Amino acid sequence: MPPRASKRKSAPPNSSSVTSSDGRSVSNKAKTKGMDKIDRLFNTYANSSLGMIDPEGIEALCSDLGVDYTDVRILMLAWKLKAEKQGYFTQDEWQTGLKALGVDSLTKLKKALPELEKEVEEPSNYEDFYIYAFQYCLTEEKQKSVDIESICELLNLVLGVQFRPQVDSLVEYLKVQNDYKVINADQWINFLRFCKEQISFPDLENYDATQAWPLILDNFVEWMREKQS
Amino acid sequence: MSAQKKKAFQIEAFKHRVVVDPKYAEKTWKILEHAIHEIYNHNASGLSFEELYRNAYNMVLHKFGEKLYSGLVTTMTSHLKEISSSIEAAQGGLFLDELNRKWAEHNKAMQMIRDILMYMDRTFIPNTHKTPVHELGLNLWRDVVIHSSAIQTRLQAILLENVRRERSGEVIDRGLMRSITKMLMDLGPSVYQDDFEKHFLEVSADFYRLESQDFIESCDCGEYLKKAERRLNEEIERVSHYLDAKSEVKITNVVEKEMIENHMHRLVQMENSGLVNMIVDEKNQDLGRMYCLFRRVPNGLVLVRDVMTSYIRDTGKQLVTDPERLKDPVDFVQHLLDLKDKYDKIITSAFSNDKTFQNALNSSFEYFMNLNSRSPEFISLFVDDKLRKGLRGVTEEDVELVLDKVMMLFRYLQEKDVFEKYYKQHLAKRLLSGKTVSEDAERSLIVKLKTECGYQFTSKLEGMFTDMKTSQDTMQGFNARHGTDIADGPMLSVQVLTTGSWPTQPITTCNLPAEIRGICEKFRNYYLGTHTGRRLSWQTNMGTADLKATFGKGQKHELNVSTYQMCVLMLFNNADRLSYNEIEQATEIPASDLKRCLQSLACVKGKNVLRKEPMSKDIADTDTFLFNDKFTSKFFKVKIGTVAAQRESEPENQETRQRVEEDRKPQIEAAIVRIMKARRVLDHNNIVAEVTKQLQSRFLPNPVVIKKRIESLIEREFLERDKSDRKLYRYLA
């Protein structure tokens, strides 16, 4: 029996062309079988005319996983899959992603979700995931910023659990202010930095506007301070 | 005789003992003692110096120096005791006299005694480390006479009493005082200090403390300072007359402390006569006196300077925020110049041109002038007024003076780029209307601005002058070519303006009247014929026209009007009455401009060449206009066009402000990029500081705006935040 580990090695996309001695062919067969399962799972949700999973398919996947469409874990899944287009999973992405997760069935996928969460929360991955979340929203070509509404939702989704008070205030502010109608990547990453650098909240005593914080955060802090006085 | 021994000649000592007469020493001493007595009793003439000297010499030689010396001490001491008593006996005013006389006598006596005892002084005394005769004399005098209990206190008291009397105005014997203090000094510096000077200073301090208290209650600031100055000079004079020179600085310190330092705040702040009042009333003498006196005490000048500075700042602030004052910009700026002159004069004449005061004045002006954001505009309007008419008939030197003063105010502006914008507008109007008094004066000011701000600042302004000149040449060429075929028609004068040098104007529509369309086209063709690749557009909102008009009763007038007004008026050659809409259609002038134009033609008394129905003040779309047959004016030439530069209205001001802000953005960005390119990596505060420094000759950039620009540059990928330290920015090549 070939060890499970061999399945995790990057397998050739179509194992049919490989010819080998017996031993090899056994592992290849197993790989192919694994690939097949992943592919079959893919086809369950894919839009056949498009050749990839579309929003409807993702919705179906979500309900099968028992996870809400807007749950952050789907976003994490997209990150793991390195999905490029929001709302779609290509076959390549699907295959690479599921292999990386080490799953080939729905149940296994469901079980892998908590592990995925932990993986995302590792400090070395978190920032990457955070940035990915923003880029995932850039649906148009050459789009560089995301509208305020979407940003607010995204903040809630991504940072809400860990930094609830900061996110609540920030979202309130973003909805009230008029200076910015969209948020760019630079501002986005600085929201994380703001939460992480433990600016004493909510009094914001140690916030220094002469540091290189983006203007939107300077304005946010001023707004907070006025509210509190 | 034995021939064997031949001895050398020898002298041998006496074989017998030479016995000096034991009573020799005593006898010799008695002679000398007697001599000393005689000397002290003024009987010295009978003495033989030679004999006495020899006696003293012999005593020392025969080893009786000790006896001589101790005898001397005893004898002198007893004499001095007598003298002391006689001095003590002197009454009242004679005390000092007696003391002085006895001292003089003592000195003479000492001299004689010393001469007699010279040999001892030179041999015995150094060998035994005893006090030399002269010094001995001084010490004995000091110890026996001066420090005798009866004399010491009395002497001190009398000396101080004399000083007190003199201070109250009495005349005292200064010569006598001089001799006494000199005596004290001769006796040793510590004698002078301990017996006199110390007490003198204490008593003086008390005296001046009381006096200053009295003065400050009864005098105003100017009077008080006069009195203080007088007292100070008195003390200096006193020292030169009868005190030791070293006392001068000590007594002046006392006066300075008691009279000035202790009261300086009260003096400066004194109501109705303090520093501020002096400045307002230009009491330069009093101010000068205050400066000299306060200079002598620690922080005196700091106090004066600070009070002056806050006064200037406060009044300046009031001036620039007073709406009444701000109504007339020319008057406002003139007022600023007058103020500056006044303060300059005070600093030159009263504060001896002290640089720290100059600096304080400059910083105060800079402070309050920039409180009013309209200052740049107003200064430009002032210059405009001067160059239009104010400098008519003024000599070249005086012109330079005025312009230099204006430049001084200009230097205080933080927003020099705003000034540039207005200056350009006003200059354009002056040039195009031909209304400048002196082209030399214009040029001179440009040169001054260039020296101050660099080539960039004035290159466009110079471009405007060039265009005017070139246009003249072009017109000459045009008239030379087409002179004959345009002789019958209207006369055209064109100024060709290079876009970019002149203030930007929006292109507006306007149908020129048929009468001039022909010649305009001719010019256009002529110009484009000689300058290929250029595009010309008529700036109908900037031109002027002179029209010959004949009214109802045949009155002829020449009307100086704007191009718009010309277009409207020419319509009335073909119709007596026109509605607003008809006029609008025919001329295609934009509504707001047209309304303003019609208002100036129909609603201004003395200039109403048109009549309006109804006769309301404002122009309505439904109005009708008629040629005013009954128009009259005392002048042949009637000026209706509004060409002079005026103070902007609020909305116009807002618009200009916005444009300035827009212009600043690229300048800030350019500065940021320049700095980052050189430094590669920099933190936020440093960027802000560097940018501010680079731009300060033009304007003071707002840190918030700088941050916005940085973020814009990040978005456009000129800069990025450093990945490891997000407080740093990094230049992206």
What φ, ψ does residue B621 adopt, rounded to 5°? -60, -20
pLDDT higher than threshold 60 for residue B501:
yes
State both tokens at B243: 């005190």
- CA-wise closest residue to B291 among B304, B277, B282, B308: B304
- The predicted model gives B523-533 an average pLDDT of 89
CB-CB neighbours of B27 under 10 Å: 11
Do A212 and B708 make contact, defined as CB atoms within 8 angstroms?
A: no
Closest residue of chain A to B685, computed from CA coordinates: A210
Taking CA atoms, B455 is separated from A19, B452, B503, in Å, by 79, 9, 18
Q: Residue B711: list chain A partners with CB under 8 A.
A: 186-187, 214-215
> Rounded mean pLDDT of A183-207?
84
Q: Which residues of chain B neighbour A193 with C-beta distances below 8 Å?
A: 726
Any residues with CB less than 8 A from the CB of B652 and at least 6 apart, and which?
none
B504: left (phi over 0), alpha (psi -120 to 50) or beta: beta
**Structure tokens given for B407:** 């430049």
Chain A residues near residue B714 by CB distance under 8 angstroms: 186
From chain B, the residues in CB contact with A212 under 8 A are 683-684, 710, 721, 726-729
Query: Could you give the angle at which helices B396-412 and B329-349 cross, rounded to 10 degrees?
Result: 90
Least confident piece of the model among A20-34, B291-305, B380-394, B421-435:
A20-34
Q: Identify the band that residue B404 occupies on the pLDDT scale cut at 50, 70 and 90.
A: very high
For B128, the token pair is 């035994």
Confidence of residue B174 (pLDDT cuts 50, 70, 90): very high
Rounded Cα distance, B581 and A186, in Å = 55
Beta strands in B97-201 (DSSP E): none
Picking from A184, A210, A218, the nearest residue to B685 by CB comes out as A210
Please answer yes or no on whether B707 and A218 come within 8 Å at the CB atom: yes
The answer to whether B726 contacts A190, with C-beta atoms less than 8 Å apart, is yes
The region that residue B216 occupies, defined by phi over 0 for left and psi between -120 and 50 for alpha, beta otherwise, is alpha
Instruction: Give the end-to-end CA distance of chain B in Å, rounded to a whole number.
Output: 132
- Nearest to residue B329, comparing CAs of B647, B648, B651, B656? B647
Strand B556-562 and strand B637-639: the pairing is: parallel
pLDDT tens digits for range A17-47: 444 444 444 455 556 666 688 888 888 888 8
List the beta bridge partners of residue B578.
B625
Where b means 16+ CB within 10 Å and e means fewer, B605-638 reads eebbbbbbeeeeeebeeebebebbeebeeeeeeb
Cα separations in angstroms, B564 against B114, B348, B429, B540, B554: 116, 54, 16, 7, 25
* Per-residue pLDDT at B2 exceeds 80: no
Q: Give the pLDDT band of residue B648 (cuts 50, 70, 90).
A: confident
Q: What is the pLDDT of residues A104-150, one digit of tens each?
A: 888 888 888 888 888 888 888 888 999 999 998 888 888 888 999 98
Q: Do A215 and B729 touch (CB under 8 A)?
A: no
Q: What is the residue type of A172?
A: E
Beta carbons of A177 and A187 less than 8 angstroms apart: no
Residue B490: is the preceding peptide bond cis (ω within 30°)?
no
* Chain B: residues touching A (Cβ < 8 Å): 683-685, 688, 703-704, 707-708, 710-711, 714-715, 721, 726-729
Q: Which two tokens stand for residue B418?
A: 């705003």
Q: Which of B685, B707, B726 sits opposite A193 (nearest CB)?
A: B726
Backbone angles phi, psi at A146, to 5 degrees: -120, 140
B688, closest residue in chain A (CA to CA):
A210
- Strand B637-639 and strand B681-683: the pairing is unpaired
Say which of B685, B711, B727 has its CB closest to residue A214: B711
B466 pLDDT band, cuts 50/70/90, is very high
- B685 contacts on A by Cβ (under 8 Å): 210-211
Tens-place pLDDT, residues B101-157: 999 999 999 999 999 899 999 998 899 999 999 999 999 999 999 898 889 999 999
Q: Which of A184, A187, A211 sits opposite B684 (nearest CB)?
A: A211
Task: Please name every residue paired with B546 in a beta bridge, in sequence order, or none if there are none.
Answer: B560
Lowest mean pLDDT among A2-16, B144-158, B703-717: A2-16
The answer to whether A182 faces chain B, any CB pair under 8 Å, is: no
Q: What is the rounded CA–CA span in Å between residue B627 and residue B602? A: 9
Residue of B nearest to A144 (CA): B715
Dmax (CA) of chain A? 78
- Inter-chain touch B726–A215, beta carbons under 8 Å: no
pLDDT the model gives residue B4: 59
Q: In what order do the strands lie in the sheet with B610-613?
A: B577-579, B624-627, B610-613
Q: What is the CA radius of gyration of chain B?
A: 49
What SS3 state is found at B365?
Answer: helix
Which residues are B720's β-sheet partners?
Answer: B730
Out of A186, A193, A211, name the one closest to residue B714 (CB). Answer: A186
- pLDDT at residue B15, as a whole number: 65
Confidence of residue A69 (pLDDT cuts 50, 70, 90): confident
Q: Residue B6: its pLDDT value, please?
A: 67
Closest alpha carbon to B32 in B3, B1, B60: B60
Rounded to 10 deg, the angle between the A164-176 and A148-159 helix axes is: 180
Confirm or reject contact between A211 and chain B (CB < 8 A).
Answer: yes
Q: How many residues does chain A have?
A: 229
For residues B408-430, give the mean pLDDT.
91
Cβ–Cβ contact A214 with B under 8 A: yes
How far is it, in rounded angstroms, from Cα A115 to Cα A69?
19
Tokens of B684: 């936020």
pLDDT, mean over chain B: 89
Could you tell me if A48 lies within 8 Å of chain B, comparing CB atoms? no
Residue A49: helix, strand or coil by DSSP?
A: coil
% pLDDT > 90, chain B: 53
Q: What's the confidence (pLDDT) of residue B279?
A: 92
Helices (H), B588-649: 591-602
For an interface test with A, the pick among B688, B709, B711 (most A C-beta atoms closer than 10 Å) comes out as: B711
Q: What is the pLDDT of residue B241?
A: 94
Distance CA B491, CA B502 (A): 25
CB-CB under 8 Å, A218 with B728: no
CB contact under 8 A, B727 and A211: yes
Contact of A210 with chain B, judged by CB distance below 8 Å, is answered with: yes
pTM above 0.90, yes or no: no
Q: What's the rounded Cα separation, in Å, for the pair B28 and B30?
A: 5
- Per residue, the 3-state secondary structure of B292-341, as one string, reads HHHCCCCCHHHHHHHHHHHHHHHHHHHHHHCHHHHCCHHHHHHHHHHHHH
Residue B481: the pLDDT is: 85
Q: The tokens of B100 are what?
A: 């002085």
Distance spanning both ends of chain A, measured CA to CA: 71
Given B703, B715, B726, which is nearest A212 (Cβ)? B726
Query: Looking at the predicted structure, is the pLDDT value of residue A72 above 90?
Result: no
Size of interface A-B (CB pairs under 8 A): 32
The answer to ipTM > 0.90 is: no
Among B707, B710, B715, beta carbon nearest to A184: B715
User: CB B683 to CB A212 under 8 A?
Assistant: yes
Confidence tier at B5 by pLDDT (50, 70, 90): low
Reported as a single tens digit per residue, the pLDDT across B280-318 is 998 999 999 999 999 999 999 999 999 999 999 999 999
As given in the structure block, the two tokens for residue B206 are: 């008390």
Most B-contacting residue of A127, A188, A210 (CB-CB within 10 A), to test interface: A210
How high is the pLDDT of residue B642?
A: 63
Is residue A227 exposed (0-12), middle (13-18) or buried (19+ Cβ within 10 Å)?
exposed
- Which residue of chain B is at minimal alpha-carbon distance from A185? B715
Spatial distance between the Cα atoms of A158 and A153, rounded to a whole number of angstroms: 9
Interface with A, mutate which of B681, B692, B705, B721 (most A CBs under 10 A)? B721
